[in-house]
């Protein structure tokens, strides 16, 4: 009886050793930033969330998606194994901190103001004299500091900063150009001031994330971009990616 028992034990050990990633769940974290990622009731949805779901279904790997404040979402992916945060701007500072799957979109950040405010800026140079709101751990804080903005108000999250802008407690805020279009279509009194930056936005995974799994995720994303699925997802949420 010893030999069969030994063979079974060896086989079980071999299976767990050969495919550790397959036995684990990928944990995605994100923030409330409609129409890209947000909750509909308790269900995470959105133009980038739908891409995550499609990618993971195509490769057949279990996953979770949790919506939380951005700083927490970002730091969990920075520290916790098998965790990825989206949608994350891929810039020089963040590049070595994560492993990347991209692009979920190519986006421009713009500075906006509340319509009717006293802000008269039309350029980056002119905008520097105003109080600019952003939110904790967002990449736009780094961009503002790199562009020598002296007065930066850092809020808890995107919604808090937008609320400050609309009540004139901050003069300007950076925002995705896609999201600005959505705000305008919904009748919000906001105006574009100037372009702040342009960058790829993607999935940022913890540095020890399995490279074979990362490559499968990238291949699945490449496929949904190539066959037009990504564009159709964005159109579903009223967004136009352009060419």
DSSP line for the chain: -HHHHHHHHHHHHHHHHH-TGGGS-EEEEE--BTTTBEEETTEEESTTHHHHHHHHHHHT--EEEEE--HHHHHHHHHHSTTEEEEEEE--TTTGGGEEEEEEEEEEEEEEEEETTSS----SHHHHTTS-EEEETT-HHHHHHHHTT-S-EEEESSHHHHHHHHHTTSSSBEEEEHHHHHHHHHTT--EEEEEEEEEEEEEEEEETTS-HHHHHHHHHHHHHHHHTTHHHHHHHHTT-----
Q: How far apart (Å, rounded) are the C-alpha atoms in residues 142 and 61? A: 34
24, exposed or middle or buried, with CB in 10 Å at 0-12, 13-18, 19+? middle
Domains and CATH numbers, the chain: 24-106+200-236 (3.40.190.10), 107-199 (3.40.190.10)
| Structure-token match 């103001």, residue found | 113
Tokens read off for 82: 């098998």
* Residue 241: partners with Cβ closer than 8 Å, 6 or more residues away: 105, 106, 230, 231, 234
Backbone angles phi, psi at 84, to 5 degrees: -135, 145
Say if CB 107 and CB 199 are below 8 A apart: yes
User: Going residue by residue through the chain (243 aa), what tens digit of pLDDT does each one get?
Assistant: 444 444 444 444 333 333 444 458 999 999 999 889 999 999 999 999 999 999 999 999 999 999 999 999 999 999 999 999 999 999 888 999 999 999 999 888 999 999 999 999 999 999 999 999 999 989 899 999 999 999 999 999 999 999 999 999 999 999 988 889 888 989 999 999 999 998 899 999 999 999 999 999 999 999 999 999 999 999 999 887 654
Q: How far apart (Å, rounded) are the C-alpha atoms in residues 122 and 239? A: 25
* The pTM of the whole model exceeds 0.95: no
């Amino acid at each position: 009886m010893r030999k069969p028992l030994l063979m079974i034990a060896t086989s079980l050990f071999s299976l767990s050793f050969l495919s550790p990633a397959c036995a684990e769940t990928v944990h995605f974290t994100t923030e409330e930033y409609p129409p890209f990622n947000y909750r509909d009731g308790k269900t995470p949805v959105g133009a980038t969330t739908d891409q995550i779901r499609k990618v993971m279904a195509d490769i057949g790997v279990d996953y979770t998606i949790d919506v939380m404040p951005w700083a927490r979402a970002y730091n969990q992916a920075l520290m916790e194994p098998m965790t990825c945060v989206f949608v994350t701007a891929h810039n020089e500072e963040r590049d070595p901190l994560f492993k990347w799957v991209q692009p979920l979109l190519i986006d421009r950040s713009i500075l906006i103001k509340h319509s009717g405010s006293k802000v008269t800026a039309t350029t980056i140079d002119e905008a520097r004299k105003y109080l600019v709101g952003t939110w904790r751990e967002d990449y736009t804080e780094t961009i503002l500091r790199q562009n020598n903005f002296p007065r930066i108000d850092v809020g808890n999250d995107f919604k808090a900063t937008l609320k400050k802008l609309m009540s004139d407690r901050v003069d300007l805020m950076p925002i995705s150009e896609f999201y600005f279009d959505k705000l305008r279509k919904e009748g919000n009194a906001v105006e574009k001031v100037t372009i702040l930056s342009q960058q790829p936005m993607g999935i940022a995974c913890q540095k020890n994330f399995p490279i074979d799994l990362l490559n499968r995720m990238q291949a699945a994303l490449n496929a949904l971009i190539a066959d037009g699925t990504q564009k159709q997802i964005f159109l579903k949420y009223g967004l136009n990616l352009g060419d």
